Structures are given as structure tokens and as C-alpha cells.
Amino acid sequence: MHIRPAIACAGLLTGALVALTGTTAQAVDGPTGARTVGLTPAADGLPGLGHLDAGVATAAAGSVLYVSPNGTDGAAGTESAPTTLTSAISRITSGGTIYLRGGTYRPSATVTIPAGRDGTSAARTTLAAYPGEKPVLDFAAQTESPSNRGIQLFANYWRLYGLTVQHAGDNGIYVGGSNNVVERVVTAYNRDTGLQLGRIASSTPSSQWPANNLIISSESHDNADSDGEDADGFAAKLTTGTGNVFRYDVSHHNIDDGWDLYTKTDTGAIGPVTIEYSLSYNNGTLSDGTVNTNGDRNGYKLGGDDIPVNHVVQHSIAYKNGHHGFTYNSNPGTMTISGNVGVDNAERNFSFDKGTSVFRGNTSCRFAGGGSNDKTVGSADSSNQFWTGSNGSRCSSYAGALGWSFASDGRLAVTFGGSVVNP
């Protein structure tokens, strides 16, 4: 497998984040070769991409459609006559599959998968990279503005697979629908959070906030807004429902936080979020070395405005983020914080000043000096090895250079000094 370039630092993890709970999303089956045969997507499905009206009234709907950078709106959408992404979204049948051929697409307008254009629990509508190819959606033509997102997924029961979304004027991907799967996606160089979950509109009732979405085996990096205080790697904040899960994900070199689960008084509590088997590193500093002191620069920011929400963060790693590794951020709830590792974050590896959170099996290490003692108000027993001036016995596993990769089945493998670790 291809290993990401190692980061030279005395305190990096070497592990593979393997033993996952829950169901792992399956890869999308490739084309059969028959251009009109309907393929049934895997059970985990793919979030569906809505439509932009593009004057394709004469183009036929289909259960399998093909898109290429040189496709045309009115084309049939076969392998030999590919269509455009907006046209395919407007006419794909529920439970069907859109294949994006490799290459760079340069849309200037937000691509919206509208509410109501849903797949089903038995057959999600799929938007997937053509097997073996890499489609890149580059929104560089957009200016920085909250109205200039890349992809808006407002439908339910879709699956997005294998896409790269970059340079959008706001979020790269914004998920407002429910029961979607976003898998093997990269969001990078966007001018707000790379991938964010939130309500579709200010009038959307809390009962319809996005729920039960799975973000899996995805990467978000180098997202930065001009103010330097909003662009996170991943976010489920302000207006999200229950059952949202991040699994096997990697967030790094974003200008603000790796993960942001912020809440505020105006909108109240969000639904509990699960983050597991994931990695957050070097957030607060872009890959080119840019730092903006306006950013919070945490690995995992878990709250806001003293609103209790009982999130679950387990078997995840925070390494060398610009502030805290894991922080309650004024969430006084009963969070489950278990099996995590914090290494050489600039302030505390674990920062929980109040609340009733439960801490089990966590490890905190320092190799580079600096930083502060951990603070973990709540229920913490002897299974934890928090930093109070010296490393515990488990820290020997987390010395060396950090490396990571996604295994063929999508699981995240993390190494420190070339050795696999399993928090």
C-alpha cells in the first residue's frame, strides 16, 4: 500500500487503526460493460448528487450514467457518449449509479443534490469514481463566499465514493441530507471547512437536521478561509441530528480545527456524534507552513457555549496540533472518551475542564517538550496514562515518524517509526 510521506518528529504514532465497530462501507462495483444494464449499488450506498437544471429535457433517464470532463448535457450518458455531472444528477433514477471518469472538472457553480431526490435504504443512489480513475472537481473559479460551496448533498440515501473536491469558495462538501455515506473522498484547499454537516436552510426544523450519515475512509486537508478561524477539516456543528459517524478519517494541516463539533446558544444542542479510528494532525498550520493565530487549532473540538452533548470519541489519534489534542471546548456533557492517543499537541493532549465525561484507556505522550499537564474532569480510572510530567509505559509505541495509509478495505493504518499502532 502507498504510505503517506512520513512526518519527522519524535512523537508520532505508528499504528493501524483497525478493529472497527459497525459496518464498513463496501466499494462500488465496476461497470459490467453493458451500457444499459442497471447495477445495484452496495448496501452502504452512495450519497446522491442532486441536480442543476441544464436543459436536458430530451436526454433519457437511466439507472447507470457516465460522466466525463468533456461530456455534453444532451448526450446519452453511456460510456461512449458521456454526459455532464449536472445532467446526470437530474436524470439518474433512484438507486442508480453515476460514474465519473477520471480528469479535472471545473464547475463554477455549486452542484446541488436536492432534497427529495432520494435513494432508498435498500439501494442508495451512487456517485462514484469510475473504477481505477481519479475525478477531481476543482471549483477554483469560485470566489470566497458562503454561497459558493462545492457539492451540496441535500438528498437522503446517497453514496459519494472516490471523489476529490477542491478550491471551493466555501465548504468543499456540505451534507444537509440524512442516511448518506461519503467514502474515500478528499476535500482540500477549500475556503471553509472541507466537509461539513448542517441543516439545509435556516427554516429547517431540528427534526430534519442531517442524521445517520457515515463519513468513512476520507481525508480533509489544507482548508483555509481568509480570516483563518473557520476552516476545519471535518465538522458536524450547530445544526446536526443524531447518529452521524466519522470512521477511518484523516484531518490534517487545516487552518482551524481537525474536527469541530461546535454548538451555540442560538441553535442549541446538536445530536451526539461518534468519531472513531481516526487521525488528526498538524491542524493550525497549512502544508506550506502558513499559520493564522485566529484559528483554534485543536485536533478534536467537541463543544461550545456550555451546552452538554454526549459525543463518543474512541480509538483516535491527535498529533502535533497547534493547541489542544482533544478538548471539551465548554461541553459539560457525559462524553465517552476511550482508547485515544494524544502526542505532542502544543498545549494539552487532553483538555476537559468540567463535565462528567468518562475516560478509559487513553494515552498521552510528550517527546518534543513543552505543553501542559492534561486535565480530565469526570470519571477517569487507572486504565488511562495521562501526561503529568512523564510518559507512561505505552508511550514507547508512539515514538518515531508518523505515517498513514488506507488499506484496501478502507481501514486506516497508522504507523509510528514504521510500526503499526492500534489505540
Q: Are strands 125-129 and 412-416 parallel, antiparallel or unpaired?
A: unpaired
Rounded Cα distance, 413 and 273, in Å: 22
Can you say whether the dihedral through the CA atoms of 81, 86, 91, 96 is positive or negative?
Answer: positive
Q: Which residues, 6 or more positions from 364, have their beta carbon under 8 angstroms from its beta carbon?
A: 325, 341, 342, 343, 349, 350, 374, 385, 386, 387, 392
Contact status, residue 71 vs residue 56, Cβ threshold 8 Å = no
**Active site includes 301?**
yes
Grid cell 508520532 is found at: 12
Cell of 156: 437522503
In angstroms, the Cα distances linking 162 to 50, 94, 183, 225 are 17, 20, 7, 25
The whole-angstrom distance between residue 158's C-alpha and the CA centroid of its chain comes to: 16
Alpha carbon distance 388, 374 (integer Å): 7
Nearest Cα residue to 170 out of 150, 198, 141, 140: 150
Question: In 3-state terms, what secondary structure has residue 91?
Answer: helix
- Residue 123, classed as helix, strand or coil, is coil
Q: Which three cell numbers stand for residue 342?
A: 494524544
Cell 510521506 maps to which residue? 5
* Buried b / exposed e along 190-225 (16+ C-beta atoms within 10 A): bbbbbbbbbbbeeebeeebbbbbbbbbbbbbbbbbb
DSSP classification of residue 89: H
Among 237, 264, 301, 375, the active-site one is: 301
d(CA 98, CA 87): 11
Task: Please choose, from the candidates 88, 107, 125, the residue with its C-alpha nearest in 3D space to the C-alpha of residue 165.
Answer: 107
Catalytic site positions: 301
